[in-house]
Structure formats: structure tokens, C-alpha cells
Amino acid sequence: MSLNRRNFDALIIGAGGAGLNAAIQLANADLRVAVVSKVFPTRSHTVAAQGGVNAALANVLPDNWHWHMFDTVKGSDYLGDQDAIEFMCREAIPTVYELEHNGVPFSRLDNGKIYQRPFGGQSQNFGGDQAARTCAAADRTGHAILHTLYQQNLRAKTHFFDEFFALDLVRDAEGVVCGALVLEIETGEPLLIEAKCTLLATGGCGQVFRTTSNAHINTGDGMAMALRAGVPLMDMEFYQFHPTGIAGKGMLITEGVRGEGGYLLNGRGERFMERYAPKAKDLASRDVVARSIVTEVKEGRGAGPKGDHVLLKLDHLGESVIAKRLPGIRESARIFAGVDPVVEPIPVFPTAHYVMGGIPTDRFGRVVMPVGSGEEAMPGLYAAGECACASVHGANRLGGNSLLDILVFGRLAGKNIIDYVKDNPFHRDIDPSSLDYAVGRLKRWDQHGKGPSVHETREKLTRCMEDHAGVFRTEEIMAEGLEKMKEIRAEMPDVRLTDHSRVFNTARIEALELENLLDVGMALAASALYRQESRGAHSRPDYPKRDDVNWLKHTLYFLEGDRLDYKPVRTKPLTVESFPPKERVY
Amino acid sequence: MKFRVYRYDPESGQKPHMQDYDIETFRGMMLRDALKAIKAQDETFAFRHSCGEGVCGSDGVNVNGTNKLACVTPIADLKEPVEVRPFPGRPVIRDLVVDMTQFYEQYKAIEPWLKRKEPTPEQEILQSPADRDKLDGLYECIMCGCCSTFCPSFWWNPEKFLGPQALLSAWRFLADSRDQAKDERLDFLEGPYKLFRCHSIMNCVEVCPKGLNPTKAIGHIKELMLKKAV
């Protein structure tokens, strides 16, 4: 089969904050960089981030990166790697200034500096008073950042492959990654993009759950590509449920609402967070707040006719604050919940939101593989953003640290790829047989005949994940979930498409996405079942305590044989003292 | 609820036609939900969509004769049968999927990035809250294309007239106190077509799902040009 080919110095898969911030670095350094995205870049899900990005600028209250680091380590329930966390918290400051210089329309303080709001899990002086660390553009920070990054890439003349779907990584005989096979959605034709270095920046996988704040496109494509290339996924059991999704629908209502002074009420009108987190209350860490809400509802103190949600009250902030600081969520609440938060509370319930785990990388953005008792970088492959796991979020991510992670590590990966390409200046010979697998995956969907549809299989999968890998997990529930996932996997070869056309065949794209969701869902279900402790977002009533003796370690899931392995947490920071595990109270 | 949907598949050899679907509705259903339900019935049906909450700008379509963003359009507000077509004036790739290249080209043409002549400071470039307020109603554009593809001037001269989206973006940078390329931006907009083909028909304002006002932005640019000329 003759394939169309293009070649570049660097290939970036994904055009969200991580991919675009990496691309700017590369294009500014005059490298030929290709950005492949299955949607037009500004449709990437970074656009939906609301509340802001953390950086210890100290524009509102005293702050420094070291306090930010402490909060992030504590928030991670001590599972985060402290070298990567120190790096991220230090780099946050120049990263945010660079964004501002690039044009991001941040909200402003009277003195002209960037506006910062309090967010959950933030403190001054290592666990003291609330900090205000989240830099915001009203409640549309992700939108403001993503559009700015796209604009800067237009200026830098990045090569965009808009509406191209990445199928699989391509490697040479020695296993060096030398590009990817992609599918042009408009024509349905495959295209081989050769590159000296490839960055996976494909974002999250929230679509494995039925109710999620994630977009239709968040199907874990890069994670599944990594799995199929033999790379394990790390810490996939740690999936964050955002406390405040619109009840029954899942659209996000930013933590910034509580940062600005909003609070939660149960069906009896009680501020129940006072009972669960006496000090931080509504601004406790996300895992804590999500569990508290689910507990209130389970114990019969929910709101509404079915008692199946709680209420987020913010009318006391007044219309002018809401109009100025939270205009986007007012719009969302009106459209999707039918309430105007200026006069009545928003019905909310936790919604699947963010995967802390992902493709294991070191703090340079290189994808790492376990070798012997240590690990080695996989040549030619980097990962950044939600699809990657550096690991800066450990078992629970703090609000405002996600935009930060994608921007810091996207930027860093870009800078490091410049060096990598200098050291590896030539394209490598691609073994044609290495394309067979990816081409076969594509061809498989041309099969005719009767079988379950992609749509019904996807519904089965997302329902299974919702029922068996939610906020509270027991052995029994998860074991049943894993069995169901295995059944779905066994049925996959029978699934058929009825549409075998080429031009803009979205059914075929959804079939390929379903395969990705299945691989990533298996990683999540298997990793969750075997972690016998409660840590961060992984909450097990049958093992209610954190167990640092046995479980202060990262999980690795390999696709082959659904194998699990573990590796130690890097507790040693770059320059400061380590933060040893302590009981985590808010 | 009855839907009549525009269908076109270039590989089928069939001419474009309207196809009827009957969709079971639920309370709070949005047009995007209905399109997804159609897709579940008939997987050959193609449309773009993603975030489902009105921020990514993927699912602009023409509904009962006007442009709307499907995910924030409650079906309860729509007259039956609901007629769904692709954006007018754009080449159709398949079903509701149109080729938006021209629209994106016009956006790129205005050089939509902050331009600075001075070296950047160590910290942020300062901006007063009052100056920052001038960007409200501009930076929120999601580039869905509802406005430009509903603008008669853009239908007639899509290569020469920038269209409301690009002009709103042009004003977003002209209005930014941090931008230092005002003259070059205004010079670029000179001439009979790029800006001045706007005849204040205001279709853009009517259809913008984010409540933005490109006509007003165009008016501001014209004022600034006049000031510069005087």
C-alpha cells in the first residue's frame, strides 16, 4: 500500500494547552513542527477550563513557590513526585508571566497586576491561612489561554494538521519512535508523518465515564497509543471527580465559585462542609469535598425531590461580583440547570473530571519505561499535559494545578525536544511492517456484517465505569466492574460499523475512539482493584486508611496480559527538604 | 419530535436532500442531544460537536433558518418540524459539516496576536481594570462561525470582506492597551472591502451565541480610522 508521507523535525499530537505551548517553543526555535489535532485547535478541551492557573505571584496575599509546593504535595496525598512538583511550582511564575506577555487577557487588580483568587487546598506558610494563588481571566481562563496560544502559533508559523486523527505511533527496528500514522478525517486517507521526535499531548479520558465534565473528544487517544506501543500507564486508579458538576448533567461549575465566597448546602440547608473540613470548609481539597457531597446524599441529606444532589449557593456575592468574576458559570447555570445563581443556588453533584495518572514521564517530559530496577527514557517520545503523569498530582490534583501542569510541562517538553533534535538530527528508517498493526486497526472497521454497534458498546462501557469505578470503591464492586470490562473487550471483535464511507466518516472515528476508551478503561479498572488502601481520589470503604508502608508507590499497568507493576515515589525534591507523609486534614 | 435534516454524502452519488427523523425528547434536551440521538439511529449522519457547553464552538448549524450553536439551543424553543441545515454560504463536505477554511483564513489575516515593540518586563505588563474591561465582549469569541456565515456581505465577498468574526478579533487587539501595533492594524483594514463591506445588517449580533456584538466593534474601528485620518 502506498502511503502519503510528510516529514518534520517534531510532531505534536494534540492542540490543547500542552501541545500548543510546546509547539510555540519549537516554532520559535525555527524547527519544523507539525501539530496534529482531531479538532480545530481552539476546540481542544483546554478551552473549557474555568477557574484559573496557580502561580505564587503574591499579587493579592503573601505567597511563594515553596508554599505552593507544600500544598501540592499534601494535595497529592504524598504520592506526587517531589522533584517534579518543585520544578512545576518554581516554573509556574515565569510561565504565567510569559502567557501574559503573549496576550492572555487576565483579569486585573487595581494596581494593574494579574487578578488572583483563592482556590481549594491553598495555604500560606505550609498549612496556615488560605492563600490566593489562582490567576484568572474571569471564569474563562482556559479559553483565554488556549486562544492566545493558538494565536502565537499562527505568528510562529506552526504547521497545523487540523481534523487529523492519530492512529498509532510508528517505531523503527530499534524501537525508536519516528512519527505517527494519522488519518485525515475529511478524506478518510491515512498519512504517515515522520518526525525526529514526537510529543503526545492528547489530554484526558473523561469519556470513559457516563457523566463527565469532559468533552466528546476526551477519549484518551494518546494514552491508548502509548499502551499499544508497550508503554505502561501510571496511577490510573486516581481519577478526580469534580465536586460541583451540574446535577444530572455533569457540566462544570468552577471551584472559583467557592473561591469567591460561594458555599455548599445540603437538603436541610446546612453548610455540611464544616463537619468534614472544619478549617478549610468548602475550600478543602477536591477529593474531600466530592466524598462529603456523596456521603450527604447517601445518608439522606440531599436536596431536590429525589434528594440526589446538593446546592451551591452564591447569590450572597451579589450580581456585580457574579457578572464580573463568574459570568460563564452564570450562563451555564441558566442554560443547563434553569437557575439564575444571582437569585437561587445551583444544584450540583460530583462529575468525572480529571485523570491524575497517565503516560509516565520524568520531569523533562520524556516518556520513561521500567528497565531492571530503574527506568529509561523511550527514545523519540515525550508526553505532556493531562495524558502524561510527571507525577505532579499524585493521588489528587489541586484546582488550578491542571492548567499549570499542561503549560509548564508543555513548554518544558518543547524546550527539551529542541535539544533532542539537535542530538538526533536525522530521520530514521521506518520499518514498513511497523505500520501493519495501525493499518490493520483501520481496515478492521471495513468489515461488513451484523454485530453490536459502536454506540451501544460505548454506552455499556461508560455505564460500567460509572457504576464500578466511582467516588467510593469496594473490592466487590470493582472486581465485578473489571469482569464486565473484560466481557466488553471480548465482544469488541464483533462490533461492526454500517457506514464504510471515507469522507468525514465520524462513525469510524468514534469506533477508533471506542478502542482507545476500552484500553484506558481497562487500565483504570485494573489499577483500581489492586490498590488496597484509601489515598486521595481512590477511596475504599473496605480499606479506609492510607497505607504508606505498603502503598506509597506508583502503579504501572501494561496492556499485555493486563499486567501490573509498581515503582517508588520520588520523595526527594530538587533543592529543598522532602515533605514526609503526614495525616492529611483540611 | 420531528426533525428534517440536510443530508449529503459526496461518495453516494445522491444529490443533497432532507431526511426526516423522529426523536424521543427529554426535559432540558438541547439540539446537540437531538443530533446525537439521530446519530445513534443512523451512524452515517455526520456533524461536528465536542464540549457540549457552548465554549468550544464546534457545533454551529442552521436551524429553522437561523444560525445557532446546537449544544446551547433548547429544543423546547424550536418550531416543529425542526429543520437543520449546514451553515449557509460555505461548501458542504458532508451533511452538516462545512468547509470553514475561508473563515479561518480571514481570522489569520488580521494577525490576531498581541504585538509589542518594547522589551517585555520581568513581571506582567500592567493593565488597569478599566483598560481590561474594554476587552470584555471581545475576547470571549469562540470562533464558531455563526456570525460570519450568516452575514450577507460575507456571502457575497468571502475572499475580500473579513467578516464579523475577524473584525471583532481585530478590534479585540486594537482595544488592548498592551498592543503596540495600532497603526499597522488600521492600515491593513483600509480599502473598500476588508472592513467597509459591512453594511450594519446586524445578522451577526442576532445570531452570536455568546451575546457579542461585532457590528459595534466594527463601528469602533471605523471611528478610530476616522480619528487617525483627521
Across all residues in chain A, what is the average pLDDT?
97
- In terms of domains, do B129 and B202 share one? yes
Residues A270-324 have pLDDT tens digits of: 999 999 999 999 999 999 999 999 999 999 999 999 999 999 999 999 999 999 9
State whether B8 and B23 are in the same domain: yes
Distance in Å, alpha carbon of A195 to nearest chain B alpha carbon: 26
| Alpha-carbon distances of A394 from A39, A200, A447, A469, rounded to whole Å | 30, 20, 42, 18
Distance of CA A97 to the CA centre of its chain: 23
Report, as an integer, the average pLDDT of A546-571.
Answer: 97
Same domain assignment for residues B123 and B181: yes
Contact B51 A39 (CB under 8 A): no
A141 touches A49 (CB < 8 A): yes
Question: B92: domain CATH number?
Answer: 3.10.20.30
- What are φ and ψ of residue B15, in 5° steps? -75, 160
From the list A108, A216, A499, the residue facing B49 with the nearest CB is A216
Residues B110 and B138 in one domain: yes
Whether residue B75 is found in the same domain as residue B116: no
Residue B125 burial by Cβ neighbours in a 10 Å radius (0-12, 13-18, 19+): middle
Tell me: do B94 and B105 sit in the same domain. no
Q: What would the grid cell of residue B215 be?
A: 457590528
CB contact under 8 A, B123 and A505: no
Mean pLDDT to the nearest integer, A113-127: 97
Residues of A in contact with B178 (CB under 8 A): 103
Q: Is B88 on the interface with A (CB under 8 A)?
A: no
Q: What is the pLDDT of residue A184?
A: 98
> Does A328 sit within 8 Å of B11, measured CB to CB?
no
Is 70 exceeded by the pLDDT of residue A1? no
Give residue B82's domain range: 2-98
Q: With an 8 Å Cβ cutoff, is B16 touching chain A?
A: no
User: Region A500-521: what's the mean pLDDT?
Assistant: 98
Mean pLDDT value across residues A468-492: 97
The class (CATH top level) of A243-350 is alpha beta
Of B57, B129, B178, the CB nearest to A110: B129
User: Is B116 in the same domain as B162?
Assistant: yes
Contact A106 B113 (CB under 8 A): no
Write the residue in B43, B111, B128 that is nearest to A498 by C-beta: B43
Contacts of B57 in chain A (CB under 8 A): 42-43
User: Would you call B99 exposed, middle or buried from its count of C-beta atoms within 10 A (0-12, 13-18, 19+)?
Assistant: middle
- Beta strand B82-85 pairing with B66-69: unpaired
Pick from B46, B18, B179, B58: nearest CA to A217 = B58
Beta bridge partners of A191: A4, A182
Residue B118 in contact with partner chain A when CB distance is under 8 A: no
Q: Are residues B92 and B29 in the same domain?
A: yes
- A:B CB pairs within 8 Å: 149
Query: What CATH number has the domain spanning A446-551?
Result: 1.20.58.100
Name the grid cell of B39.
446519530
**Chain-chain contact of B58 with A43 (C-beta, under 8 angstroms):** yes
Q: How far apart are CA A500 and CA A505, in angstroms?
A: 8
Tens digit of each residue's pLDDT (9 = 90 or more) over A368-398 = 999 988 999 999 999 999 999 999 999 999 9
Q: What is the pLDDT of residue A99?
A: 98
Q: How many CB atoms lie within 10 A of CB A306?
A: 10
Tell if the CB–CB gap between B129 and A109 is shorter than 8 Å: yes
Contacts of B185 in chain A (CB under 8 A): none
- Nearest CA of chain B to the CA of A252: how many Å? 9
Domain ranges of chain A: 4-238+356-432, 243-350, 446-551
A311-363 pLDDT tens trace: 999 999 999 999 999 999 999 999 999 999 999 999 999 999 999 999 999 99
pTM of the model: 0.97
Amino acid at position B205, single letter: V
Q: Which residues pair with A152 in a beta bridge?
A: none
CATH assignment at residue B138: 1.10.1060.10
Final residue before a domain boundary, out of B46, B66, B98: B98
Q: B91 and B62 in one domain?
A: yes
| Percent of chain A whose predicted confidence (pLDDT) is above 70 | 100
Residues B121 and B223 in one domain: yes
A325 is catalytic: no
Residue A368 identity:
V
The C-alpha of A535 sits at a distance from chain B's nearest C-alpha, in angstroms, of 30
Q: For strand A310-313 and strand A346-355, is the pairing parallel, antiparallel, or unpaired?
A: antiparallel
Q: What share of chain A is helix, strand, coil (3-state, %, to 5)?
A: 40, 20, 40
Task: Kindly report the length of chain B.
Answer: 230
Instruction: Count up the domains in chain B and report the number.
Output: 2
- The CA distance from B139 to B176, in Å, is 10
Element (H, E) at A28: helix A17-28
Find, among B209, B163, B35, B184, the residue nearest to B116 by Cα: B184
pLDDT over threshold 70, residue A174: yes
**Do B71 and B13 belong to one domain?**
yes
Residue among B11, B74, B143 whose CB faces A501 most closely: B11
Residuewise pLDDT in 10s, chain B (230 residues) = 999 999 999 999 999 999 999 999 999 999 999 999 999 999 999 999 999 999 999 999 999 999 999 999 999 999 999 999 999 999 999 999 999 999 999 999 999 999 999 999 999 999 999 999 999 999 999 999 999 999 999 999 999 999 999 999 999 999 999 999 999 999 999 999 999 999 999 999 999 999 999 999 999 999 999 998 88
Indicate if B78 and B109 belong to the same structural domain.
no
Angle B163-B167-B168 from CA coordinates, rounded to 5°: 115
pLDDT tens per residue, range A191-231: 999 999 999 999 999 999 999 999 999 999 999 999 999 99
State whether residue B120 sits within 8 Å of chain A by CB: yes
CATH placement of domain A4-238+356-432: 3.50.50.60
Asked which of B68, B98, B128 is the last residue of a domain, the reply is: B98
* Active-site hit among A133, A171, A228, A286: A286
